[in-house]
Amino acid sequence: MNITILGIESSCDDTSAAVLRNNVLLSNVIASQAVHVKYGGVIPELASRAHQQNIVPVVDTALREAGIAASEVDAIAFTRGPGLVGSLLVGVSFAKGLSIARNIPLVEVNHLQGHILSHFIDLPDRELPHPGFPFLALLVSGGHTQIVRVDSPLEMEIIGTTIDDAAGEAFDKCAKVMGLPYPGGPVIDRLAKEGDPGAFRFARPRIEGLDYSFSGLKTSFLYTLRDRVAENPDFIERHKADLCASLQHTVVSILLDKLVKASKQTGIRDIAIAGGVSANSGLRDGIVAEGEKRGWRTFLPEFKFTTDNAAMIAMAGYHRYRAGLFSSLDVAPEARLEEL
């Protein structure tokens, strides 16, 4: 039996809607918000207002591109959290309204689960590689850095997490200090290709177990800039590529060291990465190299599934629909919906 899911994602600054039939993606529409660039970060009030403007045309476009009428949708999957409450509220409210108007069941989705389950989306013209269960997922985004053991689409356990800053935050904050535009991660990735990853050495955390820390690295980076700029005001401009390459190399090494440790402890060799930072070329190359060295099967998401998108929400919603996990109309968005 075919199951058609309409996914809605509005957790931060991207308004997205997607249509999935079983695990095959029929459409995935994203409206990004350029208004935040000049502020160097997402402004929650501006984000929620932009979602209000975008949600109707984005959903309408997704349905039309999929060739699906609203009456053919079996369930509406929406992001309940984590994220910005004002942004989440727009998506949750729209999903409720459409559910009432069309008598369509609701399925709430944890945004982080969506990132992980994006690895099970197929395209109309081809099947994509899927990890087997159990697998380890390194979930790396602007706000989250986690190692997750995934035993099934509905059984996930966080076995390692950051105790302070996330990897994406470290990239963005260091980029801002160098005067790079927001978001800083992609700019650092681009400049790193032109630099020497061994040019500078930054502090590495000494955290027991599988947890991460990036605040010390960030502080070390800032002190390096402060001291060098005091000696030479043109230091950042002259060494920008090397700074980016060294920063990226350090972040990737920290991420992969813990992932290797997690694989050894669990014996799991199917390894996937997910989240916005999974688009980083250094991380993608690094996990492939580690996989070849250690006999892993590695899984990299398509670039269009690394950022926030409704396709991954629809995919997670599909599995929850099959399990009969529906939401009531009194469901509310949750900014810190951390439990997987």
In this predicted model, what pLDDT tens digit does every residue of 199-224 receive, in sequence order? 999 999 999 999 999 999 999 999 99
Mean pLDDT computed over every residue of the chain = 94
Q: What are the DSSP E strand ranges found in the chain? A: 4-9, 14-21, 24-32, 75-81, 106-110, 135-140, 145-152, 155-161, 270-274, 297-299
Collapsed DSSP state (helix, strand, coil) of residue 327: strand
Q: Is the pLDDT of residue 37 over 80?
A: no
Summarize pLDDT for 113-168 with one digit per residue, the tens: 999 999 999 999 999 999 999 999 999 987 899 999 999 999 999 999 999 999 99
Q: pTM of this prediction?
A: 0.94
Which amino acid does the sequence have at 136? L
Output 173-180 pairs: Cβ under 8 A, ≥24 positions apart.
173/218, 174/218, 174/221, 174/222, 174/247, 176/40, 177/221, 177/222, 177/225, 178/225, 178/236, 178/240, 178/243, 178/244, 179/236
Amino acid at 296: W
Q: Is the pLDDT of residue 30 over 80?
A: yes
Classify 291 as helix, strand or coil: helix
SS3 9: strand
Q: What is the mean pLDDT of residues 299-307?
A: 95
Q: What is the largest CA-CA distance in the chain?
A: 69
